Amino acid sequence: MIRPEMRVSELLKEHPQLLGVLIEASPAFAKLKNPLLRHTMPRLVTLAQAARIGGLEPDALLERLNRALGVEAAREEVSVGNESKLGTPRPEWLASPVGFHLDVRPILAAGDEPFGAIMAAAREVAAGQRLCLEAPFEPLPLYRVMQRKGFEAWCEQVGPEHYRVHFLRQREREAEGRGARSLSEADWADYAAEVSVEANLEPPLPMMRVLEALARLEPGQRLLVHHVRRPVHLLARLEQDGHPYALRDLGPGRVELLIEKGS
């Protein structure tokens, strides 16, 4: 029997024939026809949460899916855990400054997982600032994750398949993940190599240049990177690979990143 806590990715892996049932249930699931999105977007989304995204009651979606498998689903109270922020009152804190703006639509369209980029962007937002996130759907599973990191959320729909989610950091950020690290001013003068990233380099060349330079270092050595912008995708990769880093903004088109090679 299909249950509300089952991930969409698990459902489609075990019962690929139910893709058509999902799409028939709500136009919001039509994007799952794209094989790349089918392997990324549903990984963190449960069926209960997917139902909310598609404007359906979870019980109704589960009954439809189970019926397609010839199973009678017992109706039960479904706890989604992460309720929609759409239609809720506009919070006063929207007047707070934006600490980071991230559009994950191109990431998803390329078939990549945006979670690491979102976490890296969240690390750059100070207390009292907002992370502004552009997405093709309301990211219900993200609300609980961000709440644990000290963020309050509010969402608005600004167009077809275009949602803008605002996350206000309510408390000072803590060390998060393997890549989080507080470096002193003295650390910035202690580096074994440096590399510059020019504005005319097309992705993924900037990230490749940095990772290649980092690969030549020994564990514990540091790489100083002169960049033209905050490299969100690179920060996500550093978090994933366990390389501590610090970043400072020197003005328009001037960002420095100090990376310590992990073990």
Residue 226 pairs with which residues in a beta bridge?
196, 256
The residue written with tokens 């039960």 in the block is: 76
How many C-beta atoms lie closer than 10 Å to residue 128's C-beta? 14
**Given strand 130-135, what is the order of strands in its sheet?**
98-103, 130-135, 162-169, 151-159
Enter the CATH code of domain 92-169: 3.30.110
Please tell me the predicted confidence (pLDDT) of residue 118: 87
Query: Which of these, 61, 65, 66, lies nearest to 78 by C-alpha position?
Result: 61
For residue 145, which phi and psi values (nearest 5 degrees)?
-60, -45
**Given strand 245-251, what is the order of strands in its sheet?**
193-196, 222-227, 254-260, 245-251
Residue type, 130: R
Q: How far apart are CA 23 and CA 195, in angstroms?
A: 48
Query: Token pair for residue 166?
Result: 């605002």
Which sequence spans correspond to the domains of the chain?
A: 8-68, 92-169, 185-260
* CATH 3.30.110.40 describes domain 185-260: yes
Please tell me the predicted confidence (pLDDT) of residue 80: 42
The SS3 assignment for 30 reads helix
Residues of the chain with pLDDT under 70: 34-44, 72-82, 111-113, 172-184, 203
Query: Which of these, 235, 226, 234, 232, lies nearest to 255 by C-alpha position?
Result: 226
Q: Is the dihedral of CA 30, 33, 39, 40 positive or negative?
A: negative
Fold equal for 92-169 and 185-260? yes
How many C-beta atoms lie closer than 10 Å to residue 225's C-beta? 24
Per residue in 162-221, pLDDT tens?
999 999 999 765 544 445 455 667 788 899 999 999 888 776 788 889 999 999 999 999
